[in-house]
Amino acid sequence: MATLGKIRKHGVLLVAAIAIALFLFVAGDLVKGGESLFQKNQQTVAQIDGESVSIQDFQKLFEEFQGYYEIVNGASLSGEDELNRVKDEAWQTFVQNTLIQKECEELGLTVTDNEVAEIIKNGQSQLLQVPIFMNQQTGRYDYSLVQSFLNDYKQLKESGAQIQDEAEKAYKYYMFAQKQIRNQSLVQKYQILLSKAMISNPVEAKQNFESRSNETDVLLASMPTSMIADDKITVTDEEIKAKYNEDKEQYQQILETRDIKYIDVAISPSDADKKAAEDEMANAFDQLAASASNTEAGNICRQLTSQVLYTDILKKKEAFPMMIANLLDSTAVGTVSAPKYDAMTNTYYTFKVLDKQTEADSVLYRQIVVGGTDEAATKASADSIVNAIKGGAAFAEIAKKYNQTSDSTWVSTAQYQNSRLDADNALFVSTIYGMQPNEIKAIKLSNGYSFVLQVLDKHNPVQKYNVAAVVKTLNFSDATYNAAYNKFNSFLAENNTAEKIEANAEKEGYSLLPYPDLTSNQHSVAGIHGTRDALKWIFDDASEKEVSQLYECGDNNHLLVAILDKVNKKGYRPIDKESSNIKAKLINEKKVAQLAEQLNGVKSIADAKAKGAVVDTISHISFASPAFISATASSEPLISVAAAKAQKGAFVGPIKGEGGAYVMQVVDKKKTADQFDAKQEEAQVSQTHLRVAMQTLINVLYLQANVTDNRYKFF
């Protein structure tokens, strides 16, 4: 009872304590949930129709596309621009597939496993036309190679054996191709369904054919808008506002953009840097001139880290940089070319011609690889084989004794001249190119093996050169970079607001440049490499009129500072953003109207010429494509329309065009030699309608899905 009394006495306090405890419990869950949501948002690269796309999923897709291009090209992707292009392709493909998949789900369209398997079996996809799936003999897709590879991979996986990187890469590519084939097939089914609503008819087909095949030749008198100066035309604010309201739907902005101003300091070599480069090249010239052998000249190239690798073999002219190739024929053997600077490549260069010869471009040869217990045994075996073949023994029979084939191989200069060849490979190439057809010779390599070589045929004699070249890029020094950095940094320290930078940049030799409507999907600021951090700042952190930090960017040769001038939200662009463009349109329209007024009452081309018109004959005008008028440098659809309607001999005008006003005399009406094929024409028209409809549909679906692209936060 005493306990109950105490509870009654302190009931209010107990209720309050319980309430606080419950709040803390719920709040704790809310905080944890909030943290989880925040972490999820941090990992979201995009949203499509309310569905989040994680950075991990998109990164995987990008790596799959990257693997595709590496397999197709046989080389890794390099360079920021190339990687960005592949990222954009992966993104666009992903968005389109996502949008269409949703439509197909509602329509009940699917692609079965059997359909995908059939496409892979028959090789009916460009994704399958890659070297790893090609038969080396036929040069065509070979499904048996795919089956064999998949079986081998499965066995290795099940056995727990280590799988080589190349095999793993090939398997990942196959899985990517399989997935993309399914997506492409679904898009194709959707297009086929859509095409059923795009059927043409005989009347439309006939009109389409005639719009292309009926041609008109005219004598055209043009009065370009350039005949009237812009300052002779008055445009009021009321006219600009009326035009803006008339065309307002054109000014819809579907992406949020930023207007910025920026200073880009491109660091270039100083006079001292140029002097150092010239001194280094003069030293290279002296060393090459003093070199007494090819080996010595090659060592000089390596010691001076020349961009052109030296290999002691003959190469065709195109193997060398253009500025050197252009001088080879006029430079004698043994001569060293004086040091020069090439502005196109920003390099200093000098070179020595060591040899010139006419040599076969391609050689057919075969080989037998010979090994032994020691060097003497290997040499004895190789000499024995050479003597036996010279004595009449069959090459194929001897090769068989050494468990080798006698297959022959063609090698061309292009296959080796741009590669880094070691001494063994250089010896191999020099030997076979120096041999005559049916000659046999043995060479010893540094690994202890000997090669017995026989040349069977040689084709296409060409001029070749052995050249030792020292080529060095003109770079700025650390001292030059530091001086530019310190100067710019000092300027920014003294001018730390947008107003101060705008007032003083030009005085200090810096150019403050405007960049309107920067979008986050541009990968960089003002096309400067390595500016993703600046782009993130502009879109995520900056306030209007705020000045960024100093960014070191480009290829370590640019300094950047940015000012966020204005944030442009989605929706209708304000009239002040478009007023200059609208004014230019109105000025052009008023010019055309004045010029057309001058041509009113003109009855002949001669009369128009007397008023200052430019006269020219325009041939092959068709309704299907706008006529290009060189006098006004503009495409004029209305001239094509008027020419198609007019009879031969008719005088037409004035015509108000885009670039001026016109009158014309119809000289001739004729037809092309094309023959009308109703079915083919209907199919072509239907395909055109489908292409336009598909593009329009994708744009509509994109807008409806409210796509958010946050790739700039991660890439």
What CA–CA distance (Å, rounded) separates 307 from 471? 5
> Which strand (E) or helix (H) includes residue 34?
helix 11-42
* pLDDT at position 213: 82
pLDDT classification of 30: cutoffs 50, 70, 90: very low
* pLDDT at position 192: 85
Residue with the larger pLDDT of the pair 532 and 204: 532
pLDDT classification of 135: cutoffs 50, 70, 90: confident
Residue 679, pLDDT above cutoff 60: yes
Please work out, in degrees rounded to the nearest 5, the angle formed at the alpha carbon of residue 411 by the alpha carbons of 451 and 388.
30
* pLDDT at position 41: 59
CATH level 3 topology of 257-268+477-569: Chitinase A; domain 3 (3.10.50)
User: 113-122 vs 165-195: helix axis angle to the nearest 10?
Assistant: 110
Dihedrals phi, psi of 136, to nearest 5 degrees: -65, -25
* pLDDT tens profile 56-81: 989 999 989 998 888 888 778 778 88
What CA–CA distance (Å, rounded) separates 269 from 274? 7
**DSSP-based three-state secondary structure for 667:** strand
What CA–CA distance (Å, rounded) separates 273 from 524? 29
Tokens of 696: 């329009």
Beta bridge partners of 302: none
pLDDT mean over 449-466: 93
Residue ranges per domain, the chain? 2-42, 210-253+576-671, 257-268+477-569, 273-369+409-473
Measured between alpha carbons, how far is residue 612 from residues 163, 219, 225, 662 in Å?
79, 15, 12, 12
Cα 420 to the center of its chain, rounded Å:
27
Residue with the larger pLDDT of the pair 27 and 577: 577
pLDDT classification of 3: cutoffs 50, 70, 90: very low
Residue with the larger pLDDT of the pair 5 and 604: 604
pLDDT mean over 123-139: 86
* pLDDT tens profile 184-199: 999 989 888 888 777 7
Residue 25, pLDDT above cutoff 80: no
What CA–CA distance (Å, rounded) separates 698 from 102? 12
pLDDT classification of 552: cutoffs 50, 70, 90: very high
pLDDT mean over 481-503: 96
CB 334 within 8 A of CB 277: no
What CA–CA distance (Å, rounded) separates 208 from 201? 11
Range among 144-158, 280-294, 399-413 with highest mean pLDDT value: 280-294
Residue with the larger pLDDT of the pair 665 and 22: 665
**DSSP-based three-state secondary structure for 313:** coil
What CA–CA distance (Å, rounded) separates 354 from 295? 10
* pLDDT at position 549: 96
Number of CB atoms found within 10 A of residue 369's CB? 13
Cα 416 to the center of its chain, rounded Å:
27
* pLDDT tens profile 140-160: 889 998 998 899 888 888 888
Average pLDDT over all residues of the chain: 88
Beta strands 347-370 and 450-473, pairing class: antiparallel
DSSP result, 577-619: HHHHHHHHHHHHHHHHHHHHHHHTT--SHHHHHHTT-EEEEEE
Number of CB atoms found within 10 A of residue 294's CB? 17
Q: How many CA atoms lie within 13 A of 457 on its CB side?
A: 8
Percentage, residues of the chain above pLDDT 70 = 94
**DSSP-based three-state secondary structure for 661:** strand
Beta bridge partners of 153: none
